[in-house]
Each structure stands twice: as structure tokens, then as C-alpha cells.
Structure 1
Amino acid sequence: MANNFDNQYRSRSDQRSKRRKTNLILNSLIVIVVVLIIVVASTIFYGGRNDEKNASAAKNKVSQHTKNNDKSTVTNNDNQDNTVTDESTTDDNKESNEEADDESQQGLESKDIVAEDSNEPNVKKSYTNPNWKSVGTEQTNGHQYSSDSNSIDWKEKEKALSYATGIPVDNMTIWYLSRNGSDNEVVGTITPKDQSKVYRVYLSWVDGQGWKPTKVLELKENDMR
């Protein structure tokens, strides 16, 4: 009788022990499953946030790149506009210089010319211009007066005669050109090659600046022919 009781007791103990082990294993598995669920959920959650951050960063990068390109385009356009403006300014300066050259070539037709009638027997009109300037010089060692038609001084006098009257040098005939009291004052009689006009031109030397017209007389006839 005692042996049967012991056997039953042991059998129950074994069953309880097996149940505890089974429960322990199940609880362990449950814990593991819960941990895995938490890990997976965290991975999905934080991974999604990282993806959003990466996407946002990529979007910002693209936006910044677009802005930089827009700025670059605007800068290039501004540079092009500046280039056009600079070219326009250069063209305006060129036109102004050409106009000044044209005005200087007008000679007696210049708007600054002051014309007066003359009582001299062979003079039609007398012309002066308060804005006449010296024509410049290449003479570096002071003024060297010369009557040689190939000299620098003679060429500069031709330039001043042309400047005063508007007759181009290559269309000019010089009938007389000589001192008028000193090396720094000269008078010349010139005509265009067709001799349609005849002028007596007075020039004065300005140190470092060259010959400057002071007066032009339009003659009735060429008294130096």
C-alpha cells in the first residue's frame, strides 16, 4: 500500500515538474517573441523615420541645387547684361569720339565758328573759333621750326591747316607757308585741289601741344598763285 502511494506521489511530482518546465519554456518563448516583436517594430519605426529624413535631406539637397542653379543663371544673365551694357558704353564712347572727330573735320562748318565780314580788299570773311585746340606734336626736344615739306614740323602744320579749314591734307594745295614774325607764328595760303575756295590761315605754336589755329580768312582770290 505504501509503495502505491509513493508511486502516485512521484508521478504527480514528475508531472508538476514537467509542467513547470513546459511553462518555463513557454514563458521564455513568449518573452523571446515579444522581444522580437519589439525589435522588428523599432526597426520598422526608426527605419521609416530615417527614410523620411533621408528623403527630406535629398529633397532639400535637390532644392538647394535648384536654387544655386537659379542663382547661377541669374548671375550669368546679369553678367551678360553687364557685358551688353559695357559694349553699349564702348559703342557710345566710340560714337562720341567719332562725332568729335567729325566736328573737328568740319572746319569752318563747325557750330563754334564765329564768322565776320571783313573790310580788307581781298577778304570775304574772317573766321575764329574759341574752341580750337592744338593738334598735338611728336617733337620731344622743344619746337624745331622747319620749312622742309618732309619734316615733322611741316607735317604738323599741314595737320593744323586741315583742322582749321576742314580740307583734308590729301586734297590740299599749299601755295604759301612761312613764318609770321617768329618761329612760333606762321601764316599759310591754301586751297582744295579744285581751287573752289582759298584761305589764309594763321597758326600759333603751343609748347608741348603743337600748332593751334588762331584765325582763318576766306579770300576772294588767290594772291599767292
Structure 2
Amino acid sequence: MNNSRAKVQSKKRKQNILLNGSIAVVFLLIAGVSAFIFLGDNENQAAETSEEKTIAEQVQENSGVEDENEDSSDQGENNELSASEIESEEKENTDEKNETQSSEEVEEKKKEDEQKEEQQKQDEEKEEQQKRDEEKEDAENDRETASPQDGEWKPVGTKQTGEHVSSYEEGSVDWNEKLKAAAYATGLDTSTMTVWWVGNDGGPQKSVVEVSSSAGGQAEYRVHMEWVDKKGWKPVKVDEL
């Protein structure tokens, strides 16, 4: 009886030990599997994290390179744009300078032309005035020479030689010298003077000539003259008609 109980108890202890061992093995297996799973997940997560980190770094590096390239490109474009703007501005300044220079040259040339024209006009006026003054002076001299008191004229000279014979033939030497004396006494020009009459004035060596400054309606002057031997005809009186 006691032996049977002892066997039964011994059998129960064995069963308990076996059961506890089985439970321990199960726990160990569970712990191992859990550890394996946990470690595997950690390694995968670490690998994924590392891979993600590597990808992120690469993306960031690529982004940095692209940004740098973009910055370089933008800087290059800005430099090109700046250079283009500078060149355009320099060209505009040069064009404005050339245009200003050209305008100044045109204005200066215009002023020079105006000054030349003004100087030429003044010279012409001065020359005309001088000419008028000379003509006036010559006329006054001629009038002074042609209009002295009676008997103060001088003989006009002659080409005739020998004994003088008064001639009233138009175109003869004596005729021409009478006209010369008349022009001398009146201040007229023999080339434009109109001769109205040439005749005797009361003696063989005295003559009278009626003349005018143009071919008007009548004579303007009557010149009385006398012959001076070897010196020609000498005006002695001028009548204004």
C-alpha cells in the first residue's frame, strides 16, 4: 500500500518535472523566436534607416549640386545680362556723345557759315561804300576842276602841229579836242556825253560847244573855249542851260 503511494507520487513528480521542462522549452523557443524576430526587425529597420539616410543624403547632395548649378547658371545669366546691359548702356552713351558731337559740329559749322556770310556782306557793303565815296570824291574833284571861275581852266593839250586852223568837221582831230575841252569843263565823260552843237564863238581861234550828260531833250551846258598855241583848247566859260 505504501509502495503504491510512493510510486504514484514518484510518477507525479516526474510528470511535473517533464511538464515544467516542456513549459521551459516552450518559453525558450518563444523567447528565441521573439528575439530573432525582434533582432531581424531591428536590423531591417537599421538597414532601411541607413538606406533611407543614404538616399536622403544623396538626394540632398544632388539637390545641392542642382542648386549650385542653378545658382551658377543664374549667376552666369546675371553676368551675361549685366554685361549686355553695360554694353548697351555704353553704346547708348557713345551714340548720345556722337549725336551731341555731331550737333555741336553742325551748330559750329552753321555759325561759321553765318559769320562768313556776315563778313562777306560787310566786306561787300564796305567795298560799295568805298566805291561810292571814290565816285563822290571823283565827281567833286571833276566839279571843282570843271567849275572854276571863268578863265581858270588850263588847255587840254593837242596833237596838232604847225599853224592851227579850227575845224568843225565831225571826227577830225580838232573836233575831238574841242569835245575833250568841253568834257573837261563840265566834268562829263566823252564816251557818254551827247554833243548838240559845235560852232564858232566870234573868232577863228574861238569856239563854243553845247553838250549834255545824256541824249535828253536839250543841251545842258554851253562851253566857250579859245585856242592856246601848242597847248590846245582852253575852256574860258561854262553856261548851264
What is the match of residue 136 of structure 1? none
* Alignment partners' CA distance in 2, 1:54 and 1:191: 91
Spell out the pairing of 1:155-170 with structure 2 (5 A cutoff): 162=183, 165-167=186-188, 169-170=192-193
**Contact in 1 for aligned 2:146/2:184 (Cα 8 Å):** no
* Alignment partners' CA distance in 2, 1:164 and 1:104: 14
* Alignment partners' CA distance in 1, 2:69 and 2:107: 56
* Alignment partners' CA distance in 2, 1:30 and 1:51: 30
The aligned amino acid for 2:47 is S
Structure 1 gap segments, 5+ residues each: 118-122, 130-146, 177-187, 203-213
Is 1:190 the counterpart of 2:209 in the alignment?
Answer: yes
* Alignment partners' CA distance in 2, 1:65 and 1:46: 28
Larger Rg: 2
Which has a greater percent of strand?
1
What is the match of residue 67 of structure 2? 33
* Alignment partners' CA distance in 1, 2:114 and 2:140: 38
Spell out the pairing of 1:55-66 with structure 2 (5 A cutoff): 55-66=89-100
**Contact in 2 for aligned 1:197/1:218 (Cα 8 Å):** yes
What is the match of residue 203 of structure 2? none
**Contact in 1 for aligned 2:210/2:221 (Cα 8 Å):** yes
Shift of 1:82: 0.4
**Percent identity among equivalent residues?**
7
Spell out the pairing of 1:127-206 with structure 2 (5 A cutoff): 127=154, 162=183, 165-167=186-188, 169-170=192-193, 172-175=195-198, 190-192=209-211, 193-195=219-221, 197-199=223-225
Spell out the pairing of 1:206-225 with structure 2 (5 A cutoff): 217-220=234-237
Specify whether residues 114 and 221 from structure 1 end up closer, same or farther in structure 2 by C-alpha distance, changes over 3 A only.
closer
What is the match of residue 126 of structure 1? 153
Q: CA RMSD in A?
A: 4.5
TM-score, normalized by length of structure 1? 0.54
What is the match of residue 166 of structure 2? none
* Alignment partners' CA distance in 2, 1:195 and 1:81: 50
Structure 2 gap segments, 5+ residues each: 1-31, 157-168, 200-206, 212-218
The aligned amino acid for 1:175 is V
Specify whether residues 77 and 199 from structure 1 end up closer, same or farther in structure 2 by C-alpha distance, changes over 3 A only.
farther
Which has a greater percent of helix?
2
What is the match of residue 215 of structure 2? none
